[in-house]
Amino acid sequence: MDRRKFLQKTSISSAGVLSGAVKLTGQEDQFKILNPRDRVPINFIIDDSTALVNLAHFGIPQFKEVFPSKYLQDWKKLPREIPDSFVLEFLGWCADKGVKGKYSMVPYPACTGWLNRFIPGWSKKELEASLEVVRKYATPNWDIHSEMISHTRVIDIKTGLPYAEASGDFMENWEWSQKKSADELGEYIAYSLQILKDVGFDCDGVTTPGGFGSRNISNLALGTKRAVADLFGHRVGHFFRDIITDPGKSVQPQVMHVENLNSGDASCSVHMIGCTGDWFGGWDGLNPGDADRFITEDGRAGRLVEVIGSEEPALLVCHWPGIYYNGEKIGFNIFKTVVNRLDQYYDNLYWMKLTDIASYWAAKEYTVIDKTPSGIQLQAPFACKDFTFTSALEMQQPMMVFDGKKESLTRVDNRSQLTTNTWAKDNGVNYYCVNLSVGLHSLGGI
Ligand SMILES: [Zn+2]
């Protein structure tokens, strides 16, 4: 059942009032689902990263072969490598600041070599060390995505070779993907993810290179979901494809292809939307950005100020060659300024992985909350962390029961202190924050 059908069905069958997908059986405004921990989710999306290879150096000549008048950058001047010393410096700073994000590992970067075999130009030992840096220091806080297979030429997945024709029709960034079926895209995505699985990564999603699937989003979403489920067994897949920077337009994740909603085996694909342009250092590391476009020094203007004010997830977007900026680190320095300004002006941000934001949105849209004689019940088709909602129902010592296991909620002083398994009474409103597993939960108490 897709979301539209679900909502239609719910609105016809429910005598109550709909708020999101919450079924209200009692008075109006009984329940309201908030953001996780009642905070604004935030994530740093990094595209075009991989092990060692500077994708701009190796990709530009391949783009130029197809569009000779467009790619005039002096690519030979760009370093061939983005060193692990920089990866470590960057990840260390982010860990200290609590930053979480998405980090691409392009599996066959610009057709230079394979992360699960070798990359000509570097020793096997260097490749192994580079992969180990990402496994050890990135995976705790960063989603690992493939960004299709090469990010340049389309690969014939039967042979592993790039197609012979160098045209937009056979580049991942342009035409090839636009009319493919969900099965065809799913097989292509699975091929890219298998390489990452071979080197020890566990993935919930993918990033599209350039325009991949831009006119074929529904099949892209379904193909991603199937690939992530087949290879890793994850029921909620997600993908990053689009950015929206127009003021006033929603950047909420879009939950697509919901299936088996009532079976205990529900699945979906979540379209994650970036809310900024790359105003760090550009995709080629040749276009210096500006922190003010994200948030000005006085904290009053900038795209992030708008999005955070709207309480929708703020997903910042950059490209790894622009963060390194050929050793000048211009993109990284802009990012540091942005994070420091956010720290100065906000205390309600929540750095989260994309996979956790995706699961939250699936749970937010499809969890059904009802009042029962003894409290509240939540029927959750999707698991998520820190599911946060309000209720008029006040309970002393609330206790969550799931699958026979009981978990007491700890009271905190106010809504800004909500963490997992806590509750608060703030301005006469009751706030609850709980982890959801798939299935029926009851929240009761005296
Ligand atoms: Zn890219």
pTM: predicted TM-score of the whole model, two decimal places: 0.94
Identify whether residues 212 and 299 lie together within a single domain. yes
Question: Measured in angstroms, how far is the CA atom of residue 229 from the centroid of ligand 1?
Answer: 23
Question: Measured in angstroms, how far is the CA atom of residue 55 from the centroid of ligand 1?
Answer: 9
Question: Measured in angstroms, how far is the CA atom of residue 342 from the centroid of ligand 1?
Answer: 26
Ion ligand 1: residue ranges with CB closer than 5 A = 47-48, 209
Q: Which domain holds residue 147?
A: 40-356
Query: What is the domain-level CATH number for residue 311?
Result: 3.20.110
Question: Measured in angstroms, how far is the CA atom of residue 374 from the centroid of ligand 1?
Answer: 52
Ordered DSSP codes for 370-383: EEETTEEEEEESS-
Question: Measured in angstroms, how far is the CA atom of residue 250 from the centroid of ligand 1?
Answer: 23
Identify whether residues 63 and 201 lie together within a single domain. yes
Per-block mean pLDDT, blocks of 10 residues, the chain (446 long): 36 32 46 97 98 98 98 98 98 98 98 98 98 98 98 98 98 98 98 98 98 98 98 98 97 98 95 98 98 98 98 98 98 98 98 98 97 93 98 90 96 97 94 97 88
Question: Measured in angstroms, how far is the CA atom of residue 311 from the centroid of ligand 1?
Answer: 27
pLDDT computed for residue 446 by the predictor? 62
Is 58:416 a contact under the CB 8 Å cutoff? Answer: no
Identify whether residues 275 and 406 lie together within a single domain. no
Q: How many domains does the chain have?
A: 2
Identify whether residues 204 and 341 lie together within a single domain. yes
Query: What residue ranges in 260-374 does DSSP mark as E strands?
Result: 267-274, 314-319, 349-351, 368-372
Question: Measured in angstroms, how far is the CA atom of residue 48 from the centroid of ligand 1?
Answer: 5
pLDDT tens readout for residues 264-287: 999 999 999 999 999 999 999 999
Question: Measured in angstroms, how far is the CA atom of residue 96 from the centroid of ligand 1?
Answer: 27
Identify whether residues 109 and 151 lie together within a single domain. yes
Distance CA 42, CA 313 (A): 6
Identify whether residues 290 and 371 lie together within a single domain. no
Question: Measured in angstroms, how far is the CA atom of residue 209 from the centroid of ligand 1?
Answer: 4
Rg (CA), the chain: 23
Question: Measured in angstroms, how far is the CA atom of residue 164 from the centroid of ligand 1?
Answer: 22
Identify whether residues 103 and 63 lie together within a single domain. yes
Identify whether residues 201 and 176 lie together within a single domain. yes
Identify whether residues 99 and 176 lie together within a single domain. yes
Distance CA 151, CA 327 (A): 23
Question: Measured in angstroms, how far is the CA atom of residue 147 from the centroid of ligand 1?
Answer: 7
Angle between the 217-232 and 182-198 helix axes, to the nearest 10 degrees? 40
Of the three residues 304, 322, 356, the one that is the final residue of a domain is 356
Question: Measured in angstroms, how far is the CA atom of residue 98 from the centroid of ligand 1?
Answer: 25
Question: Measured in angstroms, how far is the CA atom of residue 399 from the centroid of ligand 1?
Answer: 46
